[in-house]
Structure formats: structure tokens, C-alpha cells
Amino acid sequence: MVLPHSLPLVPAPVSALAREGRMPVTATTRVLGSSPAAAQLIDAMERRTGIRLDSTVDGPAEIELLIDPDSSAAEGYTLEIGDRAIIIGADEAGLFYGVQTLLQLLREDDAGWGLLRADIADSPRFPRRGVMLDVTRHFFGVDDVKTFIDSTSALKLNHLHLHLSDDQGWRVQIDSWPLLTERAAASAADGAPGGFYTKDDYREIVAYAAARHMIVIPEIDLPGHTHAIGVAYPELVEAPVMNDALIADSKRLGQPLPVAGEPYLGWGVGHSSVRIHSERTYEFVRDVVRELAEMTPGPYIHIGGDESLGTPQADFDLFAERATAIVVEAGKVPVAWHEMGSAAAIAEGTIGQYWGKTTPEGTHAAEAAHFVERGGALIMSAANATYLDMKYSDDFPLGLTWAGIIDVRTAYEWEPTAVLDVPESAILGVEAPLWSETTRTLDEVEQLVFPRVAAQAEVAWSPRESPERGWESFRVRLGSLAPLWKAEGVDFHPADEIPWSTR
């Protein structure tokens, strides 16, 4: 019997039929499958229910995980739950995502634990579904990043952008420039403790993410947001250039203004720049990119490019052209914030990340479109819809407001292909950034990220034409995730817009 109601799934699948009843899950339930996803399923089931499923079987099992080598639907899967549960992945990623869907269908009632019966066929709308974590303004250690990977990959997000350098500190070991971590890593915003990742730490994060089908994209922000570089190597940076907004914000927040050679503990932007016409600068960029590329198996290196307010436009464009070429020389695809689209000769194929608003302002749209003209593509991070560091409401204790107040509905109701006048095929997908000015702990990060990141996950994964792709359906399905998030220890914000489930 097919039931008329929606299944409690986020993101909404391509096709789903709810069927009557539940498949019981008990201590005798067996799992068959050689994929790493089988072990991940068993561990997740135990965390949620206390039941350790049996995986020591050769024959038929109640839950079976398979790969279809003939499928062409990258990251896709089918899931059938009746008397048995069978997940068939188009590839290992699809199998992993099928497991995440199955876990969302796990429910407890008076009869115990069970899986909602259903038939599901699913694959993503966009290949690029990302989230960014700023570990520079406040630092988050390896274990925190792993937890962040677990909770975001469970929503079928598949890229983790790590913002590894900024005015406040440098966060990754570079052997050829050791003073970066010796002198410029101990500081953070507001005088909080800093920190950095050794190369082994970084490789551990990359491997952990890869096991959850998430590609790590390291970002070294250039040529602005580079005050910390000057703390380590003063010869590489210009003196700070003050601007009216920086001065006003520093006064309003009671924060210090930047001083050359001293750690910067404020949030203000636009005052720093590397020395564009010094060849030593490009030796630095080449070394950093080379060492990052050597320990980053993913195809991308992000080189920043935003808010270089003190850099003359001609100098900025020159740097953009040389820096993107350096990334290409290192065998990686350059990614840059949309401002680098101002440079006529950025490396062909460079990917732009658009952080302007859903109604573009100034030159933002033209800068973004230039990446497409140069054979690249775009990641959509519209600040007034996707920025996870914005407040939910005026009185929310965490977050900022410069891009707007973003409640859950605002985060959900936008369309990535409707922002810019570029071909729809030029949009790789969506990334939701979390800047960490106001977040000192992972719990605070999670308060801002969840539940809004689930809205971005659905925008990026689910078909635009799906009957489930509407606010009223989404808010109910989102509410159903509460028991799963609580079981996994996710400190989500219980927004009043959402009817949160207790079971």
C-alpha cells in the first residue's frame, strides 16, 4: 500500500514512495556488504539505538549494501525497505548517501526500533555541495573538524572548504616558511587561543573527509586578509591601509586597529595586502601552493581574492593572474572569490565563488561572469541566503548582520541559477560558509550551522521541480531530524519556524 504523506527526509530525494509499516531493527538484524559504508551504518545504528547489528554473515541479511557497476548516476542510489532493506549505490559515494537516508528513516515507537518502509531512487542535482569552516578567526582542532565533517556529510554535502589563513592567524604547517606557524599561529580574534594543523593533522582531516566522500579544499586568502603573514615575514606585506569602515567598526566593537608586525585581534577587513610587485611574494605563493598541493588529493586550491580594499585595482588584477597561474602549474584547479573575476587574464578554467547577494550589487555579477567567459564555472554562496554566520534574528546571541538576518525560511527560499546571467550549466553548485568571528567553540558553530545548512543541502541536492521542494514540506521534514541530531550530539538551534519532532 502506498501512503500519501511525505517521507521525513532531508534533502528530499528524486523519487520516494512511503509504504505501510516498519521493518523491525533488533539485536538479530544482520548487515551484509563489504563497503566501508556497512561499517559506518553499524556504528551509527549503535550510537542511535544502542543495538550493535551483526555483520558476520555470508548469506542473506536483513540489510544489504550493493554497488551497481553499470549505473551512470554518479553519487546516486536506490533504497528499498520492505521485509528487508537493500541499498544499491551507483558508486561508493552513492552507497554512503543511501546509508544516510536509511538512518533518517530509523524510528522508535512502542514496539521498539524500526525502519519506515519505502522505495527511493535518488541522485544529486548539483555535483558541488559544500560547506566552509573558518578556522582562522577562531581555531578548531582536528577532532572538532571531524565532528563537523560527520554532521555535514550526513546531509549529502561533499566538499569541505577550510579557510586556513587570514589577518588573525595562519593555520597550516608550511615547511619552507616555518615562521608562519612559529610566529603567526598563536593568535585569534578577540585574543582567543590560536593553533595550527601540522601536516599530519591536515592529512588526517583530508583522509577522514574522504572516507565520508567529502573533498577538502584548502584556502590561503590572498592578496588581502594577509596581516598574519606579515607577523611572520614582514618583508612580504604592505603596511596596513586604514579605511573608514574599519575605523568605525573597531570603535564600535572596542577592537584594536591593525599594527604592522603585531598580531591582529579584531575583525575589520580590507587593510592588508602582500607586496604585489615583489618577486619574493610569488616565491612565497609558489611554495605554499606546492606544499598544499602535495598533501591535498582533491583537485582544488582556493587562493581567496576577497576584500582587498587597500590594493590598487591594477595591482590586484596582476596578482590574480599570476596566482591563478601558479595554482595551475602545481597541477590544481584554482578557486577564487568572485572579485578575482576583475582580472582579464586569470588562468583559464579558474572557478569563481560568488559571495554577493541574491540581487547582485556593483560589479559583482560582471566579475563572477568573467570566470565563465574564461572557461571556468561558479560556486554560489549568496551571502544573504547561504552565510551561516548571519544571525537568525536581531536578538540571536551569535552571528553578524551585515549580509542580513537569515532565518531558516530565508536560507531555503532561493535559487542558485536565478542570481546571475550565466548559463545554468555554469553553476557547479552551492557552498554555505561559516565565518567564525563570533564562534569560539564547536557548539557555537553548530548553533549557527544547524538547521540552516540542511536548507542549503536540499537546495543543492534535490530537483528544483520536485513536489517536495517547498517551504511547508521542508519545515516538517526538517523537524523530523531532531531525534537524529540529538542522538549524534549536534547542538542545533531549535528555530521557532520548525515543528521539531520528539521521536
For residues 456 and 379, what is the distance between their CA atoms, to the nearest angstrom?
13
Return the DSSP state at 489: T
Tens of pLDDT along 19-35? 999 999 999 999 999 99
Whether residue 218 has pLDDT greater than 60:
yes
Whether residue 5 has pLDDT greater than 60:
no
Which residues are paired to 159 by β-bridges?
130, 215
pLDDT of residue 3: 39
pLDDT of residue 99: 98
User: CA 235, 239, 241: angle at the middle one, nearest 5?
Assistant: 150
In the chain, what are the domains? 2-122 (3.30.379.10), 128-469 (3.20.20.80)
Contact 378, 127 (CB under 8 A): no
Whether residue 1 has pLDDT greater than 60:
no
Count CA atoms closer than 13 A to 329's CA, side-chain side: 14
Give, in order, the Cα–Cα distances in Å from 138 to each of 44, 124, 194, 195, 434.
30, 33, 7, 9, 11
pLDDT of residue 489: 96
Q: pLDDT class for 379, splitting at 50, 70, 90?
A: very high
Stated pTM of the model:
0.97
pLDDT of residue 503: 82
Which residues are paired to 160 by β-bridges?
131, 216
Which residues contact residue 329 at a Cβ distance below 8 angstroms, ignoring those fewer than 6 apart?
Answer: 286
Contact 338, 370 (CB under 8 A): no
Helices (H), 413-462: 442-449, 452-461
Tens of pLDDT along 252-300? 999 999 999 999 999 999 999 999 999 999 999 999 999 999 999 999 9
pLDDT of residue 2: 37
pLDDT of residue 102: 98
Beta strand 106-109 with 85-89 is unpaired
Q: pLDDT class for 4, splitting at 50, 70, 90?
A: very low
Q: What is the DSSP string of 235-297?
A: GGBPPP---HHHHHHHHHHT-PPP-TTS---S---S---B-TT-HHHHHHHHHHHHHHHHT--
Cell, residue 449:
550551522
Beta strand 165-166 with 112-122 is unpaired
Mean pLDDT of 301-313: 96
Which residues are paired to 129 by β-bridges?
430
Contact 250, 268 (CB under 8 A): yes
Count CA atoms closer than 13 A to 34's CA, side-chain side: 3
User: CA 107, 113, 119: angle at the middle one, nearest 5?
Assistant: 55
Whether residue 346 has pLDDT greater than 70:
yes
Tens of pLDDT along 322-341? 999 999 999 999 999 999 99
Report, in angstroms and rounded to the nearest whole number, the Rg of the chain calculated over CA atoms. 23
Give, in order, the Cα–Cα distances in Å from 25 to each of 49, 53, 115.
9, 9, 7
Whether residue 212 has pLDDT greater than 50:
yes
Tens of pLDDT along 89-98? 999 999 999 9
pLDDT of residue 58: 78
Beta strand 333-337 with 300-304 is parallel
pLDDT of residue 56: 80
For residues 271 and 254, what is the distance between their CA atoms, to the nearest angstrom?
17
Q: Nearest to residue 408, comparing CAs of 501, 476, 495, 473?
A: 495
For residues 473 and 467, what is the distance between their CA atoms, to the nearest angstrom?
9
Least confident window among 58-62, 171-175, 294-298: 58-62
Q: Is 307 a catalytic residue?
A: yes
Give, in order, the Cα–Cα distances in Å from 487 to each of 38, 45, 83, 483, 502.
19, 10, 26, 6, 11
Number of H helices, E strands in the chain: 16, 18
Q: What is the mean pLDDT of the chain?
A: 96
Give, in order, the Cα–Cα distances in Å from 501 to each of 17, 59, 102, 111, 494.
21, 37, 18, 18, 11
From 307, 413, 444, 488, active-site residue? 307
Residue 245: count of CB within 10 angstroms of its CB: 13
pLDDT of residue 60: 86
For residues 275 and 315, what is the distance between their CA atoms, to the nearest angstrom?
9
Q: Which is it for the CA torsion 436, 249, 309, 176, positive or negative?
A: negative
Which residues contact residue 496 at a Cβ distance below 8 angstroms, ignoring those fewer than 6 apart?
Answer: none
